[in-house]
Amino acid sequence: MITKKVSKKDIRKLLGTWNQECNVIVPSRVDGVVGMAAWDNQDISFLDWYRNTVIPPKSCFLPKSEVMMSFKKNENGYNLEVPTNEHWQVIFGVRPCDARANAIIDHVFAVTYDDYYYISKRRNTLLVGLSCTNPYDSCFCTSSNIDPTESEYVDLMFTDIGDDFVIEDFTGGGKALLNMSNTLKKVTKADIDKIKEVKAASVSKIKKTVDTENADRKLGSLFNDTDYWERISAKCISCGICTFLCPTCFCFDINDEMIRKQGARYRGWDSCSFRSYTRMPMENPREEKWRRVRQRVCHKFEFFPMNLGINACVGCGRCIRSCPVNWDITQVIAGLPAEAGIKSGK
Ligand code: SF4
Ligand code: SF4
């Protein structure tokens, strides 16, 4: 529900108010790469970036690397210490595609399995969305039924209407954030008209589309077609960038490191694109590259729809923008033979 607006010149004040009560995370450039990081209480240049971050907000719940526990040897065995995550955080600037992606990953870490490390961060988080009013050419969120200016998965949604951001609130947590601030103004009839205009224009700026209708059935019927997958995977170099940056990919690896009787267990991102993936517990069942590429495509467009009734691709376009060999998942989906999976009734 649209209730308030905030002037762009007051955003620093608004975030500052929130930052007194909890950790505010914003889009930030860290070591030259744009991801999400703690706000420095000053810089709001991210408001001019318009588009989604290179590293998605999944990193706030499933960090690139995190300590699961630290341990120290004593005379009876080991002292173990598990980190706690009790602090509240507000993640500001979550794009609608990434908000949907978070909800998809929730199924893995918080619905089908209770992952302490993920849940302890996720449950203490409020998400503040930011409409995409100027998307990349490679964004195709509308093909995943996502509106670049709307989301049911955030607590608040901000939309740029010029000098102000109009704010929609969706949850009690979102309302509580608004109640903390004295910098907000009431929306006018003109603001409501303007936001409708901005939303329609934003949707029309998403030019890239892909028809995902029946993709799951088509992929199912092609699953054992080795020639097809060898052709599709030919130029992939298995660098894993697409999976690391994908907001719905969640594979991880666990390693213990110990020096002089003390150390830590770490969890870090892993990728099904790697030949060495899952080698530690046994062997990678996908030794050949084509099997790994098939896994990635089918994971998004066949297995997730089969198990949860939803595509696990939100159309953020990161894998397309970052692939060093211009491998484009939309070309694969668009190029699926029309009759595959339909004639056979699979
Ligand atoms: S980013 Fe491109 S080259 Fe690297 S694993 Fe993904 S598809 Fe292959
Ligand atoms: S598969 Fe590519 S476009 Fe789809 S959600 Fe992952 S990174 Fe984004």
185-196 confidence digits (pLDDT tens): 999 999 999 999
148 in the same domain as 285: no
Residues 6+ apart with CB under 8 A from 220: 302, 341, 346
Handedness of CA 60, 309, 270, 332 (dihedral sign): negative
- Which residue, judged by its Cα, is nearest atom 6 of ligand 1? 242
Nearest Cα neighbor of 26 from 88, 90, 122 is 90
The percent of residues above 90 in pLDDT, for the chain, comes to 86
Nearest Cα neighbor of 267 from 70, 114, 122, 65 is 65
259 within some domain: yes
3-state secondary structure of 214: coil
342 within some domain: no
Q: Could you tell me if 21 and 287 are in contact, meaning their C-beta atoms sit under 8 angstroms apart? A: no
- Which residue, judged by its Cα, is nearest atom 6 of ligand 2? 246
- Which residue, judged by its Cα, is nearest atom 5 of ligand 2? 313
344 within some domain: no
176 in the same domain as 270: no
313 lines ligand 2 (CB under 6 A): yes
Predicted pLDDT of residue 70: 96
Measured CA to CA, the distance from residue 78 to residue 75 in angstroms comes to 8
Nearest Cα neighbor of 85 from 109, 126, 118 is 118
Q: Mean pLDDT throughout 233-239? A: 96
Name the residue type at position 13.
Answer: K
Predicted pLDDT of residue 131: 96
- The residue from 179, 204, 229 where one domain ends is 204
Q: How many helices (H) and strands (E) does the chain have?
A: 12, 12
Please write the tens of the pLDDT for every residue from 118-165: 999 999 999 999 999 999 999 999 999 999 999 999 999 999 999 999
Q: Could you tell me if 346 and 217 are in contact, meaning their C-beta atoms sit under 8 angstroms apart? A: yes
Predicted pLDDT of residue 342: 55
210 within some domain: no
Counting Cα atoms < 13 Å in the Cβ hemisphere of 228 gives: 16
CA angle 89/13/132 to nearest 5° reads: 65
Q: Could you tell me if 139 and 321 are in contact, meaning their C-beta atoms sit under 8 angstroms apart? A: no
- The residue from 204, 225, 257 where one domain ends is 204
Cα 139 to ligand 2 centre (Å): 9
Q: Which ligand 1 atom minimizes the distance to the CA of 329?
A: 7
Residue written as token pair 């602090």: 87
Cα 329 to ligand 1 centre (Å): 10
To test the ligand 1 pocket, which listed residue (249, 288, 325) has its Cβ within 8 A of the most ligand atoms? 325
318 in the same domain as 196: no
297 within some domain: yes
81 in the same domain as 42: yes
User: pTM of the predicted model, to two decimals?
Assistant: 0.93
Predicted pLDDT of residue 154: 98
Cα 292 to ligand 1 centre (Å): 11
Cα 236 to ligand 2 centre (Å): 16
3-state secondary structure of 168: strand
Residue 247, pLDDT above cutoff 70 = yes
**Cα dihedral 199→202→204→205 (10° resolution):** 180
- Which residue, judged by its Cα, is nearest atom 4 of ligand 1? 239
Name the residue type at position 255.
Answer: N
Residue 273, pLDDT above cutoff 70 = yes
100 lines ligand 2 (CB under 6 A): no
Residue 238, pLDDT above cutoff 80 = yes
Q: Could you tell me if 275 and 287 are in contact, meaning their C-beta atoms sit under 8 angstroms apart? A: yes
Measured CA to CA, the distance from residue 24 to residue 95 in angstroms comes to 16
175 in the same domain as 73: yes
Nearest Cα neighbor of 175 from 128, 107, 105 is 128
Q: Average pLDDT of the chain?
A: 93
- The residue from 164, 182, 204 where one domain ends is 204
308 in the same domain as 200: no
Q: Could you tell me if 149 and 96 are in contact, meaning their C-beta atoms sit under 8 angstroms apart? A: yes
3-state secondary structure of 236: coil
Q: For residue 30, what is the enclosing H or E element?
A: strand 23-30
341 within some domain: no
To test the ligand 1 pocket, which listed residue (233, 235, 236, 243) has its Cβ within 8 A of the most ligand atoms? 236
Please write the tens of the pLDDT for every residue from 298-339: 999 999 999 999 999 999 999 999 999 999 999 999 999 876
88 in the same domain as 231: no
Pocket lined around ligand 1, Cβ cut-off 6 Å:
236-242, 273, 323-325, 327
183 in the same domain as 50: yes
55 in the same domain as 30: yes
To test the ligand 2 pocket, which listed residue (146, 314, 320) has its Cβ within 8 A of the most ligand atoms? 314
109 in the same domain as 14: yes
Q: Are strands 164-169 and 2-7 parallel, antiparallel or unpaired?
A: antiparallel
Q: Which ligand 1 atom minimizes the distance to the CA of 237?
A: 3
Predicted pLDDT of residue 89: 96
343 within some domain: no
Number of structural domains found in the chain: 2
CA angle 341/227/303 to nearest 5° reads: 45
50 in the same domain as 93: yes
Helix 289-298 and helix 226-233: axis angle, to 10°?
90
340 lines ligand 2 (CB under 6 A): no
Name the residue type at position 33.
Answer: V
Residue 85, pLDDT above cutoff 90 = no
209 within some domain: no
Domain span at 311: 215-334
Please write the tens of the pLDDT for every residue from 34-78: 999 999 999 999 998 878 999 999 999 999 999 999 999 999 999
227 in the same domain as 199: no
Q: Which ligand 2 atom minimizes the distance to the CA of 249?
A: 6
